[in-house]
Amino acid sequence: MILDSKIPEGPLAEKWTKHKFNVKLVNPANKRKYDVIVVGTGLAGASAAASLAELGYNVKAFCFQDSPRRAHSIAAQGGINAAKNYQNDGDSVYRLFYDTVKGGDYRAREANVYRLAEVSVKIIDQCVAQGVPFAREYGGLLANRSFGGAQVSRTFYARGQTGQQLLLGAYSALSRQVANGKVKLYPRTEMMDVVTVDGKARGIITRNLITGAIESHSAHAVLLCTGGYGNVFFLSTNAMGSNVTAAWRAHKKGALMANPCFTQIHPTCIPVSGDHQSKLTLMSESLRNDGRVWVPATQETAEKLRKGQIKAADIKEEDRDYFLERKYPSFGNLVPRDVASRNAKYVCDEGRGVNETGEAVFLDFRDAIKRDGKDIISAKYGNLFDMYQQITGENPYEMPMMIYPAVHYTMGGLWVDYNLMTNVPGLYALGEANFSDHGANRLGASALMQGLADGYFVIPYTIGDYLAQNPAGKIGTDHPEFQKAEKDVKERIKKLLSIKGEKTIDHFHKRLGKIMWDYCGMARTEEGLKKAKAMIKELKAEFWSNVNVLGDNEELNQSLEKAHRVADFIELGELMVDDALNRNESCGGHFREEYQTPEGEALRDDENFAYVAAWKYLGEGQEEELVKEPLIFENVKLTQRSYK
């Protein structure tokens, strides 16, 4: 199988402009004849649905929440990147492109990343026009702050609520199209399968989460905007409803899953407090602009701290180790997330962790408050400080925050070409659901950028190229392929409800999460991954023989919802382990302990692994087939990443 990424010819800076001219167009009158399904209504989905409806297409938008406003995009805190160079500090489209490729440890496509940087400037204009209340400088220009992996200030923000404000902007655009009758919204509806006819995606099967009704919906193209799969680890910063089911169903219908082992561990999360937790809370990376990360310089001091014999304020300046500033003087506390996370793990593994479990470091605002005053810090981060205090009971204005890495974002996802189409014609993946822009590590504030770039500025062009080459004739949901897919969904539901085992769904999810965190988390080894694979196979067999799914289908049944998602997570977990085993190198968030520099940094093998690992599903119980897309670097030089 050969993958065609459809990257346009020509110089990097001209590819997108030329491509937009060369793609085929659907004239306005004909757009009314085409139906498009959008699954997911976060930033990527809401912006895509609104943009396509504005163009004249008939759009059906599906979300399992009761409103698009509850999409997990709302949880993003710190900001959105764009190469506006308002600070006049040396930023440019090319620098944003370079920082993103380097930040992803040279495992992303140049062309896709450059396009992302190029359209970033338009995103800000679009969002301002929608009324998004970005922070402003005294002169009226939009304010910027820095994020990890960059030495310029290019992150636009609305205090610590950037995701919420951007989503409300996209939601307003979507609501306008709902009112116009161009978008039909299906809340509390979950996609259960993709339907293909003659090899092309032509619709989906859904379950109404209130009534349990199984329904078919046909269209000329299907867009999956369903986010990432971080909840495979059970504990993550994702909303509890975030899952992989839509993407995994597409994978089983032939769509390739690319780089699934590339998962991001975020360095600034509130540490785990006990077995009772169902999720973890992110503290924005923006806090690293003013907060200093440190631990005690010695294990003895750390032990006194953990036992409560001393407090953080008692530790003298010379007895503190600002380890990121010490190791990476050029970037300091603003190194990329994978680097910051690994170093936090290192110092905790040395016995210098600062909480009772020994798995936390300090994020300290003492110096920033002395320098700028409490009011300035509160204006920047007040809602984040309030959130931390509500969760932990500690006042971060008076004592340092305690943070530790946690699963956050997934760089892997469905394989897509330059047009954001999977290898299944007519099936697209946008935002975090695809793999395309971040390589092996995502820079902070780039998720919102990608979601809105894909939805507002990429898919409106590229979907027309596909639709213009396909007839506008509709396929009824009485087509045999729809009937077969509906039957398969109903049989799966019946099977899950009939097991009547002894263990809860959360029991299996927690066990899977522990396996993944221990063996396919921040650090990985060949021995551990092989052990994990065997454990997941056992877990899968036990799940399908001993899970207890309560209730019936014909009702609101969250137990059944979870069961579907956990079953898919188990299968995905095995593929993630296979992908990590295959990649005999370290890069970005994929850290194989066998492959590291003497300083403990990720050691890439560009000669053998400069490719996208795309996996093809071959059937139940069979090992998946690896398909490689070589990564060609013509504009950046492959070098050992350094932030020192």
**Angle CA 61–3–481, to nearest 5:** 45
- The tens digit of pLDDT for each residue in 257-303 reads 999 999 999 999 999 987 788 899 999 999 999 999 999 999 999 99
pLDDT, residue 492, reads: 98
Distance CA(443)–CA(448), nearest Å, equals 11
Quote the tokens at residue 265. Answer: 């561990």
Beta carbons within 10 angstroms of residue 486's beta carbon: 19
**Region for residue 514 given its phi and psi (left: phi exceeds 0; alpha: psi -120 to 50; beta: otherwise):** alpha
* Cβ atoms of residues 194 and 427 within 8 Å: yes
3-state SS class at 316: coil
* Cβ atoms of residues 196 and 253 within 8 Å: yes
List, in sequence order, the alpha helices (H) in 264-328: 299-306, 323-327
Q: Which residues, 6 or more positions from 410, have their beta carbon under 8 angstroms from its beta carbon?
A: 228, 229, 230, 260, 262, 263, 264, 432
pLDDT, residue 599, reads: 87
Helix, strand, coil percent values for the chain (each to nearest 5): 45, 15, 40
The burial class, CB within 10 Å (0-12 / 13-18 / 19+), for 28 is: exposed
Distance CA(498)–CA(501), nearest Å, equals 9
Closest among 55, 58, 38 to 181, alpha carbons compared: 58
Q: In what order do the strands lie in the sheet with 183-186?
A: 183-186, 58-62, 35-39, 221-224, 427-429
Q: What percent of the chain has pLDDT over 70?
A: 100
**Angle CA 513–390–161, to nearest 5:** 80
- The tens digit of pLDDT for each residue in 224-233 reads 999 999 999 9
Query: CB-side exposure of 375: number of CA atoms within 13 Å?
Result: 0
User: What one-letter code names the amino acid at 47?
Assistant: S
Q: Which residues, 6 or more positions from 42, have their beta carbon under 8 angstroms from its beta carbon?
A: 68, 71, 72, 73, 167, 225, 227, 431, 451
Tokens 């509806």, located at residue:
189
- For residue 199, give the DSSP letter: T
Closest among 435, 563, 562 to 113, alpha carbons compared: 435
Q: Is pLDDT above 90 for 641?
A: no
Spot the catalytic one: 95, 337, 565, 592: 337
* Cβ atoms of residues 345 and 521 within 8 Å: no
Average of per-residue pLDDT across 15-27: 97
pLDDT grade for 431, boundaries at 50, 70 and 90 = very high
For residues 248-261, one letter each, b for 16 or more C-beta atoms within 10 angstroms of the residue's C-beta and e for the rest, the string is bbbbbbbbbbbbbb
For residues 384-408, one letter each, b for 16 or more C-beta atoms within 10 angstroms of the residue's C-beta and e for the rest, the string is bbebbeeebeeebeebbbbbbbbbb
- The tens digit of pLDDT for each residue in 80-120 reads 999 999 989 999 999 999 999 999 999 999 999 999 999 99
Quote the tokens at residue 224. Answer: 């999956």
Distance CA(232)–CA(407), nearest Å, equals 9
Quote the tokens at residue 106. Answer: 């040279």
Distance CA(286)–CA(148), nearest Å, equals 8
pLDDT, residue 642, reads: 84
- Total residue length of the chain: 644
Distance CA(162)–CA(489), nearest Å, equals 38
- For residue 453, give the DSSP letter: I
Torsion of CA 413, 416, 421, 422, to 10 degrees: -70
Closest among 343, 436, 445, 354 to 134, alpha carbons compared: 445
Annotation says 337 is catalytic: yes
Q: Is pLDDT above 90 for 620?
A: yes
* Cβ atoms of residues 296 and 354 within 8 Å: yes
Average of per-residue pLDDT across 372-380: 94
Tokens 């996802």, located at residue:
413
User: What one-letter code names the amino acid at 74?
Assistant: I
Distance CA(249)–CA(247), nearest Å, equals 5
The burial class, CB within 10 Å (0-12 / 13-18 / 19+), for 506 is: middle
Distance CA(119)–CA(619), nearest Å, equals 39
pLDDT, residue 274, reads: 78
Q: Is pLDDT above 90 for 644?
A: no
Closest among 83, 143, 165 to 116, alpha carbons compared: 83
Q: Which residues, 6 or more positions from 619, have their beta carbon under 8 angstroms from its beta carbon?
A: none
- For residue 590, give the DSSP letter: B
- The tens digit of pLDDT for each residue in 462-500 reads 999 999 999 999 999 999 999 999 999 999 999 999 999
Closest among 216, 222, 217 to 201, alpha carbons compared: 222
The pTM (predicted TM-score) of the whole model is 0.97
Q: What percent of the chain has pLDDT over 90?
A: 95
User: What one-letter code names the amino acid at 142?
Assistant: L
* Cβ atoms of residues 359 and 348 within 8 Å: yes
**Region for residue 28 given its phi and psi (left: phi exceeds 0; alpha: psi -120 to 50; beta: otherwise):** alpha
